[in-house]
Amino acid sequence: MVAALKNPNVDFRHRNLLGIEGLSAEEISLLLDRSDHYAERNRSARAPGKALSGRTVINLFFETSTRTRTSFQLAALRLGADVVNMAVEHSSIKKGETLLDTALTLNAMHPDVLVCRHPESGAVKLLSQKVECVVVNGGDGAHEHPTQALLDAVTIRRRKGRLQGLTVAICGDVMHSRVARSNIYLLHTMGARVRVIGPPTLVPGAMERFGVEVFHDMALGLRDADIVMMLRLQLERMQGSCVPSIREYFRFFGLDRQKLSNAKPDALILHPGPMNRGVEIDSEVADDIGRSAIQEQVEMGVAVRMACLEVLTRNLPRLEDG
Amino acid sequence: MMAGTGKHHGGKHHGGERNGTVAYVNARLIDPASGLDEPGALVTSGGVIADLGPRLFSDAPPPSVDVVDCRGLILAPGLVDMRTQLREPGEEHKETIGTASAAAGAGGVSTMVCLPNTDPVIDDVAGVEFVARRAREAKATKVFCYAAATVGMAGRELTEMGLLAETGALAFTDGTRAIANSRVMQRALNYARTFGLLIVQHPEDPALAENGVMNGGEMALRLGLRGIPRVAEVMTIERDLRLVEATGGRYHAAHLSTREAVEAIRRAKARELPVTCDTAPPYFTLNETAIGDYRTFAKLSPPLRTEEDRDAIVEGLADGTVDAIASDHAPHDQDSKRVPFAQAEDGIVGLETLLPLSLALVHKGRLGMADLLGKLTAGPAAILGLGEGRLRKGAPADLVLIDPDKPWRIDPDAFLSKSKNAPWENLPVQGVAMRTVVEGRVLHDRMT
| Partners of residue B429 on adjacent β-strands | B408
What's the rounded Cα separation, in Å, for the pair B245 and B268? 9
Contact call for residues B129 and B167 (beta carbons, < 8 A): yes
Q: Which amino acid is at A259?
A: K
Please tell me if residue A247 touches chain B, with a CB cutoff of 8 Å: yes
What's the rounded Cα separation, in Å, for the pair B217 and B225? 10
Please tell me if residue A245 touches chain B, with a CB cutoff of 8 Å: yes
What's the rounded Cα separation, in Å, for the pair A140 and A142? 6
**For chain A, counts of helices (H) and of strands (E):** 11, 9
For A86-92, the CB contacts below 8 A with 24+ separation are A86/A58, A86/A59, A86/A60, A86/A61, A87/A61, A88/A60, A88/A61, A88/A62, A90/A62, A90/A63, A90/A64, A90/A119
Q: Residue A255 has what DSSP assignment?
A: B
Please tell me if residue A186 touches chain B, with a CB cutoff of 8 Å: no
- Kindly report, residue by residue over B160-216, the tens digit of the pLDDT: 999 999 999 999 999 999 999 999 999 999 999 999 999 999 999 999 999 999 999
The alpha carbon torsion through A121, A79, A274, A213 (nearest 10 deg) reads: 60
What's the rounded Cα separation, in Å, for the pair B232 and B216? 10
Q: What is the pLDDT of residue A10?
A: 58
Q: Which residues of A touch B193 (CB under 8 A)?
A: 200, 216
Please tell me if residue A252 touches chain B, with a CB cutoff of 8 Å: yes
Handedness of CA A286, A290, A292, A294 (dihedral sign): positive
What's the rounded Cα separation, in Å, for the pair B297 and B280? 15
First to last CA, chain A: 44
To the nearest whole Å, the CA of A220 is away from the closest chain B CA by 12
Of A119, A176, A183, A177, give the one whose Cα is nearest residue A146: A183
Q: Residue B304 has what DSSP assignment?
A: P
Please tell me if residue A200 touches chain B, with a CB cutoff of 8 Å: yes
Per-residue pLDDT tens, chain B, 448 aa: give them: 344 443 333 333 333 344 589 999 999 999 999 999 999 999 999 899 999 998 887 777 777 789 999 999 999 999 999 999 999 999 999 999 999 999 999 999 999 999 999 999 999 999 999 999 999 998 899 999 999 999 999 999 999 999 999 999 999 999 999 999 999 999 999 999 999 999 999 999 999 999 999 999 999 988 989 999 999 999 999 999 999 999 999 999 999 999 999 999 999 999 999 999 999 999 999 999 999 989 999 999 999 999 999 999 999 999 999 999 999 999 999 999 999 999 999 999 999 999 999 999 999 999 999 999 999 999 999 999 999 999 999 999 999 999 999 999 999 999 999 999 999 999 999 999 999 999 999 999 998 7
Q: Read off φ and ψ for residue B151, nearest 5 degrees.
A: -60, 125
Q: Read off φ and ψ for residue B245, nearest 5 degrees.
A: -65, -40
> Under an 8 A CB cutoff, do B191 and A247 touch?
no
The alpha carbon torsion through B346, B349, B354, B359 (nearest 10 deg) reads: -80
Q: Which residue of A has its CA nearest to B149?
A: A244
What's the rounded Cα separation, in Å, for the pair A250 and A14? 41
Please tell me if residue A211 touches chain B, with a CB cutoff of 8 Å: no
B162 vs A200, A240, A252: nearest CB: A252
Q: What is the pLDDT of residue B4?
A: 40
Contact call for residues A231 and A256 (beta carbons, < 8 A): no
Give me the residues of chain A with pLDDT under 70, please. 1-10, 89-97, 236, 239-240, 321-322
What's the rounded Cα separation, in Å, for the pair A306 and A40? 12
> Under an 8 A CB cutoff, do B187 and A241 touch?
yes
Q: Is residue A61 helix, strand or coil?
A: strand
Tell me, what's the ipTM? 0.77
To the nearest whole Å, the CA of A216 is away from the closest chain B CA by 6
Catalytic entry in B328, B398, B413, B445: B328
Q: Which of A201, A239, A243, A253 to probe by mutation at the B interface, max B CB count within 10 Å?
A: A201
- Parallel, antiparallel, or unpaired for β B428-438 and B441-445? antiparallel
How far lies B115's CA from each of A1, B154, B170, B242, in Å?
A: 62, 15, 11, 25
> Under an 8 A CB cutoff, do B160 and A241 touch?
no
> Under an 8 A CB cutoff, do A251 and B190 touch?
no
Of B416, B355, B410, give the one whose Cα is nearest residue B80: B355
Contact call for residues B365 and B129 (beta carbons, < 8 A): no
Q: Which amino acid is at B396?
A: P
Q: What is the pLDDT of residue B14?
A: 37
DSSP B379-415: HHHHHHT-S-S---TTSB--EEEEEEEEEEE--GGG-
Q: What is the pLDDT of residue B163?
A: 96
Active site (annotated) includes residue B371: no
Q: Which residues of B touch A200 (CB under 8 A)?
A: 190-191, 193-194, 247-248
Q: Which residues contact A209 (CB under 8 A, 6 or more apart)?
A: none
Contact call for residues B270 and B211 (beta carbons, < 8 A): no
- Kindly report, residue by residue over A245-261, the tens digit of the pLDDT: 999 999 999 999 999 99
Q: What is the pLDDT of residue A11?
A: 80
CB burial of B46-68 (b: ≥16 within 10 Å; e: otherwise) equals: ebbbbebbeebbeeebeeebebb
What's the rounded Cα separation, in Å, for the pair B73 and A112? 92
How far lies B185's CA from each of A157, A233, B199, in Å?
A: 43, 22, 9
Cis peptide before B120 (omega within 30 of 0): yes
> Under an 8 A CB cutoff, do A200 and B159 touch?
no
| Partners of residue B41 on adjacent β-strands | B53
> Under an 8 A CB cutoff, do B157 and A239 touch?
yes
Q: What is the pLDDT of residue A240?
A: 65
Contact call for residues B241 and B228 (beta carbons, < 8 A): no
DSSP A256-268: -HHHHTTS-TT-E
